[in-house]
Structure formats: C-alpha cells, structure tokens
C-alpha cells in the first residue's frame, strides 16, 4: 500500500480482546504503533502488544477480523471496523486480508508454469532433434533392430487396413512366387552393392499408393502401387535404393528417437511419465511425415551412387519421381511437393553423370515381378 493510502487509514480503533486466561472479554482501544499492535484497557494500561510480523488470522465470519499471535495459543483479538482492518492489513504481511501474497504466489505459479512449458517446447523443437542426431549413430545395430521390430509390428497394423494378416505381404501365393523370385534377384543386387553393416528386410505389400517407406532396423516396405507405376526394373530399383539410403543414414531411427523424446516430454506435461505412447506416436510419424529436403536429397544421392555402382541407370529415380509427381497430389512420401520435384530431378541428373548401364533384370524376370501381387 502506498504512503497516501496509509495516511488515510486510522492509527487506532476499537476491538474486543480475549486474554486467553479467562472467558471474559475486554473492550480495548487498538493502537497501531510503528512495529507492534497494542491493546489498551479502559484505564490506558497495555493488555498485550503483538508484533505485526507475528500476527495470525483465525477463522471468522464475513466482516470480522480475528487475530492471534504465534506467541500465544488462546488469546485473540476481534475487529469489525473495516478501515481499521485495512490499516492492520497494510502493516502486517501475514494478515494479507487483501490477498496480495496469494495473488503474488498465483502470479509466480502461472509465470513458472508458462516458463516451464516454453522451455519444454524449445527443448522439443530444438533440443530433441539435436540430441537425436547425436545419439542415433551411437545406438548399436542390434538395439536398432529391436526398435525396428517393435515399430514394424505397429506400422504393419496401421498399413493393413483390410486386416489381411499374412496375406498383406505379396509374393507368397502360388502364382506370385515367380514374381517374388524376380524381386529377390533385384534386392540381392542392391544389397550386395550397398554392403550395409546390417541386414535389410525388404517386402512388397498390398497398398495401392505409389510409395515405399523405411522403418528402423532395415525394414523396407515397397507398395504394390509403386510396382504398378514403375516401367522398368531400374525405376523400381532407384526408389528402393533411395529407401536404402534412409536405412544407411539411419533416418527413421533418428525419427524414432525424436518421437520417443517428444512423447516423453509431452507425456510429462500430461502426467504420463513413462512416455507409453512413444512407439505408436513414432510409427505414425514415420508413416505420415516426409523427411526434410536435405535428408531426401541425401537419400537421392545415395540412390544415384548405388545404382551407378551396380551398373543400373542412376537417372531412373528421377524418371519415376517425375511420373508420380505428375499424376499424384499430394505426393507420396518419396515426394515432398511438386515444385521441389523438378529440383530433385535436376540434382539427380547432375550426380548421375554419364557411363554405360546394364539391365538389372531380364525382360522375363521383370514381367514376372510385375505379377508379384496378383494373387489377392
């Protein structure tokens, strides 16, 4: 309270004092001294003197201030004069009849809550991705494989919207086995050229999108729609080599780490301190979210390198990207947006250079591969 307000408040008033030794009450004059509250009897004698900082408020009806002090148990003072109550409130921090302390505490709680939330958001947006990028290369491949198996189970359940179960994977029916054998020939060439320090599990699934995705631990899903769109084994191989680039760079594992970190952070905000939704959250993130342009560019460069290494056409990836971008909107995960596709294709052309190529599959094998999902 400021000085002018203090001057307007009374320096004394009337109240009822109980000394705590008898049941009798005393009509007293209350003097607001500089450091203490004094209770004067009718003859002017001082019955009690309580420091302002030692005052305690007790439960009382509306409009009544009932005070005690830390030094006494039963003694109390009752005041009804609102102006006198305001004067005591202005001098005694513990009384806080105007709830200034409570308001300050509420303000501090709100401030620190906002600050903590903002800190978590900064960590989530900046810190978690940086930490994930640093930690991912340190994860043993055996651990990554276990992560991948867990995410793969969730991803398969999400992708298999028709609940086909084992039939969701192409190449197992009798009339599909020749196509599976041809597909395996193509994958063996790519895996031999890539020479990754961990095995890949590449499968074709019954999804109509022209797409392919990579999960942690070397799980690669090739959608039937991509095989339908591909006009040569090199085009299909170029996309799969791109996904192998994601596996080699451990991009999906980094996404898993980011997702797990985000799930833990926001789980803390929501009371889930164990981050139980991390796998579900991350699986959906991997399936639904495109990588950044720089990550996609690195995977494109890997595809060009690998296709050149095994003798295939390194430009084939650009060819199929252009075809898919021209017929699909929004694009699948191997595309980010249409305007950028031309830039990606131009970069692929620059990296591809010139040199001899060879057919990655014979015509008969390619024809068989195109039937790999014909049995269901």
In tens, the pLDDT along 155-176 reads: 888 899 999 999 999 999 999 9
User: Do 123 and 94 share a structural domain?
Assistant: no
The answer to whether the beta carbons of residues 177 and 171 sit under 8 Å apart is yes
Residue 27: its pLDDT value, please? 93
User: Do 107 and 91 share a structural domain?
Assistant: no
Q: Quote the CA–CA distance of 184 and 186 in Å, as a whole number.
A: 5
Question: Taking residues 255-270, what's their average pLDDT?
Answer: 56
Please count the structural domains in the chain. Answer: 3
**Residue 309: band (very low, low, confident or very high) from pLDDT cuts 50, 70, 90:** very high
Quick: pLDDT tens for 115-143.
666 665 554 455 555 655 666 667 788 88
Q: Which domain holds residue 109?
A: 100-138
Residue 292 has pLDDT above 60, yes or no: yes
In a domain, 9, yes or no: yes
Residue 25 has pLDDT above 90, yes or no: no
Quick: pLDDT tens for 37-65.
999 999 999 999 999 888 888 888 888 99
User: Do 147 and 92 share a structural domain?
Assistant: no
User: Do 57 and 21 share a structural domain?
Assistant: yes
Q: Distance between terminal CA atoms of the chain?
A: 82
Q: Which of 29, 24, 22 is nearest to 47 (CA)?
A: 29
Question: Taking residues 340-348, what's their average pLDDT?
Answer: 90
Q: Which of 297, 173, 183 is nearest to 230 (CA)?
A: 183
Among 149-163, 316-330, 340-354, the least confident range: 316-330
User: Do 348 and 264 share a structural domain?
Assistant: yes
Would you say the pTM of this structure is higher than 0.85? no
- List, as one string, the DSSP characters of 227-243: HHH-SSHHHHHHHHHHH
Crossing angle of helices 293-310/177-194, nearest 10°?
A: 100
């Amino acid at each position: 309270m400021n000085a002018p307000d203090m001057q307007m408040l009374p320096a004394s008033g009337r109240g009822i004092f109980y000394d705590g030794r008898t049941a009798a009450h005393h009509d007293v004059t209350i003097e607001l001294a500089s450091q203490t509250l004094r209770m004067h009897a009718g003859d002017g004698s001082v019955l009690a003197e309580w420091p302002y900082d030692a005052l305690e408020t007790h439960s009382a009806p509306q409009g009544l201030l009932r005070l005690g002090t830390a030094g006494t148990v039963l003694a109390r003072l009752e005041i009804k004069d609102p102006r006198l109550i305001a004067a005591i409130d202005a001098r005694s921090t513990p009384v806080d009849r105007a709830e200034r302390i409570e308001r300050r505490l509420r303000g501090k709680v709100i401030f620190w809550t906002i600050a903590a939330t903002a800190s978590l958001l900064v960590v989530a947006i900046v810190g978690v991705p940086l930490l994930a990028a640093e930690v991912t290369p340190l994860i043993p491949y055996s651990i990554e494989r276990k992560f991948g198996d867990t995410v793969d189970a969730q991803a398969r359940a999400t992708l298999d919207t028709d609940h086909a179960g084992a039939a969701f994977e192409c190449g197992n029916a009798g009339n599909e086995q020749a196509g599976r054998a041809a597909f395996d020939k193509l994958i063996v060439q790519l895996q031999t050229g890539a020479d990754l320090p961990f095995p890949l599990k590449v499968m074709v699934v019954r999804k109509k999108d022209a797409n392919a995705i990579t999960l942690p631990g070397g799980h690669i899903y090739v959608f039937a729609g991509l095989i339908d769109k591909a006009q040569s084994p090199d085009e299909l191989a170029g996309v799969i080599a791109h996904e192998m680039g994601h596996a080699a760079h451990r991009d999906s594992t980094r996404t898993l780490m980011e997702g797990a970190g985000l799930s833990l952070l926001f789980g803390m905000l929501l009371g889930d301190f164990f981050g139980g939704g991390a796998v579900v959250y991350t699986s959906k993130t991997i399936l639904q979210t495109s990588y950044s342009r720089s990550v996609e560019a690195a995977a494109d460069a890997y595809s060009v390198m690998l296709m050149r290494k095994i003798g295939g056409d390194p430009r084939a990836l650009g060819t199929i990207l252009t075809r898919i971008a021209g017929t699909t909107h929004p694009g699948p995960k191997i595309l980010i947006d249409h305007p950028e596709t031309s830039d990606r294709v131009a970069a692929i052309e620059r990296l591809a250079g010139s040199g001899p190529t060879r057919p990655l599959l014979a015509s008969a094998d390619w024809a068989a591969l195109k039937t790999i999902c014909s049995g269901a």
